[in-house]
Chain A
Amino acid sequence: MANPAVRIGARGVTRRFGAVLANDAIDFSAVPGAIRGVVGGNGAGKTTLMRILQGLEQPDEGAVVLNDEPVTLADPADAFARGVGMVHQEFMLVDELTLLENLILGREPVGPGGVIDRDKALDEARRLALSAGVELDWGLKVSEAPVHVRQIVEILRLLYRGADVLILDEPTAVLAPQQVRDLLNLLRRLRDEGRTILFISHKLDEVLTVCDAITVLRAGKVVASTTPAEANAGRLAELMVGETVDFPRRVPQTRAVEAPLLSLRGVKALDSRGVERLAGIDLDLRPGEVVGIAGVSGSGQDEIVAVTTGLRRAAAGRVTIAGKDATSLSVAARRAAGLGYISADRAHEGLCLAESIAANVVAGRHRARPFARGGLLRPRTIREHARKALDRFGVIYRDCGDAARNLSGGNQQRVVIARELDRQPRALIAAQPTRGVDIAGAAFIHRQILAFAASGGAVLLVSEELEELLTLADRIVVLHRGAIVGEVAGAERSIGRIGRMMLGEAA
């Protein structure tokens, strides 16, 4: 086939969900051998557009364009047959299988009797890895592989299956800065080999670094089509939000005198196979302090959160909440002692999506007055209280009796924050508090966290966004393989320094 002008694009693509216009006459085009960035806030229509390009959804009007021709994509397999492959935000790998098995699944080289030709598969896998400039242990199970390895396998699998259009949805969200650099280099390499890449991200600096052209979406419309040469991060952010956004900044402070509100001493945790995941953590959070936790995904952040909140027992060590030994306390008792928790997994741990918004706001306090009396709930009191709390935290909702799943992701997160701060805890664990929240929502959440700290609370902030940590935290503790490898505070904080620590290098 001669080189088309447009390898993949959209022509007047419109998609409605009820009264909502998720995509409103979207036009864009990506040329072969180029990386096109697609940026936009929550609800801008990125996800819907990508689903349409994948054949997962059909446009109500307009068409997907492949090789200059409008086409109808029946399903993802059809899209794939035309060379379009996607790396999803939640990886589409089978945890129980090895990396090699995942690579070949669906296109297995087989000998007589359907027996898999392992040597051939391994040769092919090694060839692909070599061409991508990486080295992998192909016998590793996915569940045991670090997150950047999983991502590389996803990309290699698309190549193995012959895709030349790669759609990457927030591919750097889970990576350390150095790994991000490696990934961006890999993308450049693939581009130089003539492939077309759609790079969906809300990290504007990365988009500006790696993309050849950028499409900005807002409220379902294309509001700009630009290039890194013409734009800068500030301008892109304005385009995405439609106004300038004020993020709070804070001057890092050090507090050493007051007694800690939350304290971990020699805390260890094991995984299912008895492997140590936390190697003796010592951490103190004092009143008014925001302490950030940085680390490559899977370095022990989840374990610190689980052991502190009581979702998992510590294998050794002591947890103290507001001066009280909480090591063997239940989750409820820890909360009663003054612990608040914003979960990274909003859909499963943060909220009960099937329950009403009001019930979610008072959940955990539903047995106590004024929400219950004599073992019976008092719905009117609950609703009234919920409405007040929801208004205070700027949640946009129709009726507080609606199921929480009817809210947008950003509003769901505000409900979580309303519930946790409304209880007036002493210490707050905030795990990925702005994940999946748009810029305006993130700024609001940042303000709430800082206000909580200013009122004398202590915050443990776990985030994959280094920018977020640098903005909010007084000091940042860096984890590597379950151990604290360093701590940076005040003026010595820099992305490069933290990034090196995250990979276990001496800073």
Chain B
Amino acid sequence: MIDYVLAAAALLTTPLLLTAIGGLINRLGGIVNLGLEAMMLTGAYVALAMSSATQSWLVALLAALAAGGAVGLLFSLAVTRLEANEIVAGVGLNVATAGLIGFILKDYYHSSGTIRLPDVVMLPRIVLPGVAQIPIAGAILSGKDPLTWLSWALVPITAFVLSRTRAGLRLRAAGAAREAATALGLRPLAIRDASTIVAGALAGLAGAQLSIGVVGVFSVGMSGGRAFIALAAFYFGRNRPGLTAVGAALFGLFDAIQIYLQGRGVAPELMQMLPYIVVLVVLTAIGVGERKRRLLQGV
């Protein structure tokens, strides 16, 4: 049972982690991206369509990356240049994207919500010989797709880029003090746009993992609010990639547990609530801690 749950948890964490890392970068740059869900959904659809059209998972991934980044840029320009409210723009983008993709499904594929395409090439599973047989470690490490490995590699890479490179420094400055950055000749809005493109691209990859990583179909409700869970993960992580990964893994674990328990007599509708309830509990606990701190510190 443990092996089954852990193996599933590792796969379920991947889209959350990719999106959370992107959202974290975006937030450090000064934008709280509520439109990640749209970018994830776009990536999921584009990956499946491209995989079917080209029979190459790599081309499909690159297409999902580009599509997510493009939606991200669109959102970013609306916020940074047209000064749209980022909450309204983000939520609006989610609704509009779901609507547009639903329309494409209906009009082009004559499907009411779910499509299966011919000749879809799924992401390969990398089986580690020798490790696969080890209990627990094998379940977590072996048989995972390239995006899972990428998502975990991104954790230290992001931490390094943020703290040690010019790009990271400027990103943090643009997000924390726009005026100061402008006064120093930086272009904080352009930096913000770039960070949103990165966030969109990672969310696009996350979407690809949903459609061609696990099931090989696409449906309109496929992203299922995962971008908002990712949002919770990087708030939980307080801008630190390592802690953000812990948040994402926590949700992935409880998601795997609920799937495991579903087949065992508990009402599935109730079980599906489990990971979300865990998120609420964790965020509430953080909030209570914050509040205690703030009362002593002043507003």
Residues of the A chain whose Cβ atoms lie less than 8 Å from the Cβ of B183: 76, 92
Selecting from A102-110, A189-197, A319-327, the interface stretch reads A102-110
| Bound: A31/B99 CA distance, A | 66
Could you give, for residues 167-196 of chain B, a 1 whenever the CB lies within 8 Å of some chain A CB and a 0 otherwise?
A: 101101100110111111110000000000
Could you give, for residues 97-122 of chain A, a 1 whenever the CB lies within 8 Å of some chain B CB and a 0 otherwise?
A: 10001001110101001111010000
Total cross-chain contacts (CB, 8 A): 76
Q: Nearest B residue to A108 by beta-carbon distance?
A: B166
Q: Does A147 contact B (CB under 8 A)?
A: no
Nearest 8 pairs of A and B residues by beta carbon: A312-B298, A106-B184, A94-B177, A92-B180, A77-B185, A96-B176, A114-B166, A306-B298
| Bound: A129/B275 CA distance, A | 53
Residues of the B chain whose Cβ atoms lie less than 8 Å from the Cβ of A108: 166, 169
Q: Does A272 contact B (CB under 8 A)?
A: yes
Given A97-B176, A101-B173, A110-B166, 17 other A-B residues pairs in contact with their CB atoms under 8 A: A92-B177, A94-B173, A96-B176, A97-B172, A101-B169, A105-B181, A105-B186, A108-B169, A113-B165, A114-B165, A114-B166, A116-B164, A270-B296, A272-B297, A303-B298, A312-B295, A313-B296
Closest Cβ of chain A: how far from B239's Cβ, in Å? 9
Tell which of A92, A110, A312 touches B296, judged by Cβ atoms closer than 8 Å. A312
| Bound: A285/B264 CA distance, A | 71
Can you list 17 A-B contacts with CB-CB less than 8 angstroms, sorted by A residue number? A76-B183, A77-B185, A92-B177, A92-B179, A92-B184, A94-B172, A94-B173, A94-B176, A94-B180, A95-B177, A96-B177, A105-B170, A105-B184, A113-B165, A116-B165, A272-B294, A311-B298
Residues of the A chain whose Cβ atoms lie less than 8 Å from the Cβ of B165: 110, 113-116
Residues of the A chain whose Cβ atoms lie less than 8 Å from the Cβ of B172: 94, 96-97
| Bound: A105/B180 CA distance, A | 10
Cβ A80 vs Cβ B296 within 8 A = no
Those of A142-190 within 8 Å (CB) of chain B: none
Closest Cβ of chain B: how far from A352's Cβ, in Å? 15
Residues of the A chain whose Cβ atoms lie less than 8 Å from the Cβ of B185: 76-77, 80, 106
Q: Does A269 contact B (CB under 8 A)?
A: yes
Closest Cβ of chain B: how far from A275's Cβ, in Å? 10
Closest Cβ of chain A: how far from B191's Cβ, in Å? 11
Residues of the A chain whose Cβ atoms lie less than 8 Å from the Cβ of B184: 92, 105-106
Residues of the A chain whose Cβ atoms lie less than 8 Å from the Cβ of B296: 269-270, 312-313, 315
Could you give, for residues 282-296 of chain A, a 1 whenever the CB lies within 8 Å of some chain B CB and a 0 otherwise?
A: 000000000000000
Residues of the B chain whose Cβ atoms lie less than 8 Å from the Cβ of A315: 296
| Bound: A364/B152 CA distance, A | 54
Q: Does B293 contact A (CB under 8 A)?
A: yes
Closest Cβ of chain A: how far from B65's Cβ, in Å? 21
| Bound: A366/B185 CA distance, A | 47
Those of B281-299 within 8 Å (CB) of chain A: 293-299
| Bound: A303/B298 CA distance, A | 9
Q: Nearest A residue to B297 by beta-carbon distance?
A: A272
Residues of the B chain whose Cβ atoms lie less than 8 Å from the Cβ of A115: 164-166
| Bound: A95/B296 CA distance, A | 21
Closest Cβ of chain A: how far from B186's Cβ, in Å? 6
| Bound: A77/B177 CA distance, A | 17
Residues of the A chain whose Cβ atoms lie less than 8 Å from the Cβ of B298: 303, 306, 311-312
Q: Does A271 contact B (CB under 8 A)?
A: yes
Residues of the A chain whose Cβ atoms lie less than 8 Å from the Cβ of B295: 312-313
Closest Cβ of chain B: how far from A165's Cβ, in Å? 15
Closest Cβ of chain B: how far from A110's Cβ, in Å? 5
Q: Does A430 contact B (CB under 8 A)?
A: no
| Bound: A118/B170 CA distance, A | 15
| Bound: A378/B173 CA distance, A | 48
Q: Does A498 contact B (CB under 8 A)?
A: no
Residues of the A chain whose Cβ atoms lie less than 8 Å from the Cβ of B173: 94, 97, 101, 105
Cβ B179 vs Cβ A116 within 8 A = no
Tell which of A94, A113, A311, A313 touches B181, judged by Cβ atoms closer than 8 Å. A94
Residues of the A chain whose Cβ atoms lie less than 8 Å from the Cβ of B293: 272
